[in-house]
A and B are shown apart, each in its own frame.
Chain A
Amino acid sequence: MTPEELLLRTFLDEAAELVATVEASLLHMEERGGDATMLNQLMGALHTLKGASATVGLGELCELVHEMEDAVDDVRRERVAASSPLFNQLFAALDTVRGHLAAVAQGERGEDQVAEQRARLRTWRTAHGPTETPAPPEQEVAGLRLGEYDWIRVDVLRKEGRPLHRIEVAHDLAAGPDVWRAALHCLHGMGDVVAHAATEVHGRAQLVALVATSSDRTTVEGALAGGGFTLVAWTDFAEQPAPKPAAPKPRAAGPAHQVIKVDVQRVDRLMEMVGELVIVESMVKNDCDIARLKSPRVRSSMRLLTRISLELQDTAMCLRMVPIRGELRKMERVVRDLARATGKKIRLELQGESTEMDRAIAERMGEPLLHLVRNAVDHGIETAEERAASGKPETSVITIRASHQGGSIVVEVSDDGRGLDCEAILAKARDQGLIEPDSRASDSEAQGLIFAAGFSTATRVTEISGRGVGLDVVRRAIEAIRGRISVASVPGQGTTFRMTLPLTLAIINGTLVRCGDERYVVPTLSVIECLRPSKGALVRYANHRQVLRLRDRIIPVLALRELLGAPGKDGEGDHEHPLVLVVESAGQLLGLAVEDVLFQQQIVIKSLDTPVADRRLFSGAAILSDGRVGLILDIDNLRGHARFRGGAGGRRGAPDAVVPSEAVS
């Protein structure tokens, strides 16, 4: 990566955090009014964002943020009231900023939209703001203009005991803003740049900067020389009187929670290697030659090796954990916007923000959460009149609760709205042909129907929730990260969606089964029970369909060996007395007839991202303890086989259906 790209990447990371801070502050202010600390936090974030944008050459962005900063400043100085339209303007501007950052990350540089947004904000401010906006007091410090907030930073840095220096840097070549970028990047690496300006001294372009750094002159000089810059002057920044406005007291810093930023790719690479280490360790441990050694020394070393490998794996896994806070906080803005759009009063409560989960899972929680919240606002929460009529408080509450429970992560989204109407659901399901017309269902079964594809009781298609694709999409998204979702509701009181997610996507508990001479993996999460049915319980029909009478239910059974075409000794008696593994998927039970259930093992999932794998059969692959590949059966899709083909034989009509007998050569 070139220094330019690195600078931009660093900027984008920082900018994302700053934008999040700005949004949180704006939301807080809008809700609870702006106290001095909040305002200063907001202004500080905008100010830093403004400066950083300028450093990477995003001029228009810098101007837009400047405009936002001025707007907030108007509020701070009580020249303008903090009104709802103002917040709308600021949020709109923030959205443009966010959008532009995303575009820049993709490599686009067009700033037209940003310029437009700035013009819009400026126009609005001129129309609604005070007639004159006096420039903030600035003070010249030998070539540097320091604004108010620069002074606040100076103050903070001094209190932290960081020495400040005013430095002048020259460059051999004719310098433009691009050249100084490299110098600033270098300086950023050595400390904090409070302010900087490009000037001309004796006809030569120079950069003047106020830097807080603990490095000494020689070190900085050397670093700059590396980029072709010459350090011309270095003076200690003497005590200068700061202008009057009250600077906020920096919060007393407690013992610092040390955090370092690490490239995600590096962490992933580390995790991959640790995963491989665990596999190899397992291969060594299970190697029959080593097992034959019967040496206590070897055995004890192997035990130690195993223990350390597993601990290393746990530690590496933790590196990928992030608190769910980020995803939950995003919902604040969503609820705010939705409440305004629907005219309903809604409060969002977040609990368990610090619950940690694998970063990959956290990232993919965003969409489902969004759908669930939208659904709650649109369908669950009643209008003000309805709430008043049923004696409910005017402001409805949506609660998102995250917690660790029994080795999984549980995230619940609840609302205190009207709850699910089971009768309406059943009626709609019958209408759409999802269930038999005369079938009856318990309340919980009825509520579960809302996850069915294409289902919707919405009488009108709204812009917010769309055409009833919401919950089916949510269910699939959650199941894609190996989670489960269920719903519970009390009519008139509210609805709660409960999502259970694994701690990590990388490892699952697998049950190894034998089909003929081959071994396959069934995710233990899906296994309900394992039994050898008695003579009458397993019934064969024509077309190789089999069903099992399991207590009071009849469940379809797939003969795995025939389905997969596994070679092996025939006539093992497996047809008469197979072992049946009962698995569950999306609330339905299915039996898998296998020869043997071998053992359970924690296995590292590897993706089977190759064009030739039949993704309807296998959800992935794993490396077993002997180093060979084990294919993980996709239980959800296997169910489809049972429904349409009833197990072995027969083509499905799809062009590349599984044809077991041919696959055996």
Chain B
Amino acid sequence: MNRPALPGTAAAPASALAAQLAGKYLVFKLADQEHALQILKVRELIGLLPATRLPGSPRCVRGVINLRGRIIPVMDLRLKFGLPRAECDDQSVIIVVQYTRSDCELVMGILVDEAVEVLNVTASQIDPPPDFGDGHIGSEFILGIGKADARVICLLDVTKILTTTEVDQTLATLDPP
């Protein structure tokens, strides 16, 4: 099915990109906007756990939690995207994601408003990320836009949620116990 290319995007690479991004995604809500993460990077979903504040960490990091004996940081995705902080309710959920960077396996929790469902997104449903111009918070996190029925879902790149500089800076100081 042919679609007119979105302004500012090239048609040919888009389909290759879409094919790459197709797969199962975990859809969640953040301030009534739906976003999704690749399911392969999601370890588990947990309810809200009391987080211990981590002084010196970026504002969007709520703190660290004890996940069955392992200590992982929890990021408030609202704050990361520049949205106002919200009260947590019983819908709030922490998505535990894992990814590898420079040979290190990193695990992190992401606090979101509500987990919706696991959705299989096909290549034809994926558009390349729109060009918001520079400086718009969140533009570098978007892998693409998923369109299912009438819904518009932002497909997010987990590895970019923690910006490169933060991670590399700290990876340089990591030493194993």
Contacts and interface: CB of A to CB of B under 8 A. Distances in A.
Residue among A564, A617, A663 having the largest count of chain B Cβ atoms under 10 Å? A663
Interface string A608-629: 1111111111101101000111
A656 B167 CA distance: 13
Contacts of B69: 272, 275-276, 279, 606, 623
A617 B56 contact: yes
Given A630-B52, A662-B59, A665-B59, A611 B177 contact: no
A621 B69 CA distance: 11
A258 interface: no
Interface in A625-665: 627-631, 656, 658, 660, 662-663, 665
A6 interface: no
B152 interface: no
Given A612-B162, A627-B66, A617 B52 contact: no
Contacts of A614: 54-57
A403 to B, nearest CB: 25
A610 B173 contact: no
Interface stretch (B10-18, B40-48, B70-78): B70-78
Nearest to A621: B71
A608 B167 CA distance: 14
Contacts of A348: none
A64 B102 CA distance: 38
A518 interface: yes
Contacts of B64: 608, 610, 613, 621, 629, 631
Nearest to B79: A665
A506 B169 CA distance: 26
A623 B66 contact: yes
Assign chain B's interface to a size class.
35 or more
B1 interface: no
A480 interface: yes
A523 to B, nearest CB: 14
Given A662-B59, A665-B59, A606 B70 contact: yes
Given A617-B55, A617-B56, A662-B59, A610 B108 contact: yes
B177 A612 contact: no
Residue among B56, B71, B162, B166 having the largest count of chain A Cβ atoms under 10 Å? B56
A565 interface: yes
B52 to A, nearest CB: 4
B85 A665 contact: yes
B65 A629 contact: yes
Nearest to B170: A611
A564 B59 contact: no
A589 interface: no
B88 to A, nearest CB: 14
Contacts of B96: none
Contacts of B63: 629
B60 to A, nearest CB: 9
Contacts of A610: 64, 71-73, 106, 108, 170
Nearest to B51: A629
Interface string A165-196: 00000000000000000000000000000000
A300 interface: no
A609 B171 CA distance: 9
A550 B81 CA distance: 49
A276 B68 CA distance: 8
B23 interface: no
B50 interface: yes
B55 A611 contact: no
A505 interface: yes
B96 to A, nearest CB: 13
Interface in A536-581: 563-566
Nearest to A560: B55
B53 interface: yes
B167 A611 contact: yes
A22 B63 CA distance: 53
A662 B57 CA distance: 11
Contact of B57 (A563, A566, A612, A665): A612
Contacts of A607: 71, 176-177
Going nearest first, the 6 A-B pairs with the smallest beta carbon separation are A614-B56, A611-B170, A629-B52, A276-B69, A564-B55, A611-B167
Interface of B: 50-59, 61, 63-66, 68-73, 75, 85, 104, 106, 108, 162, 166-167, 169-171, 173-177
5 contacts: A616-B56, A620-B177, A623-B66, A623-B71, A629-B71
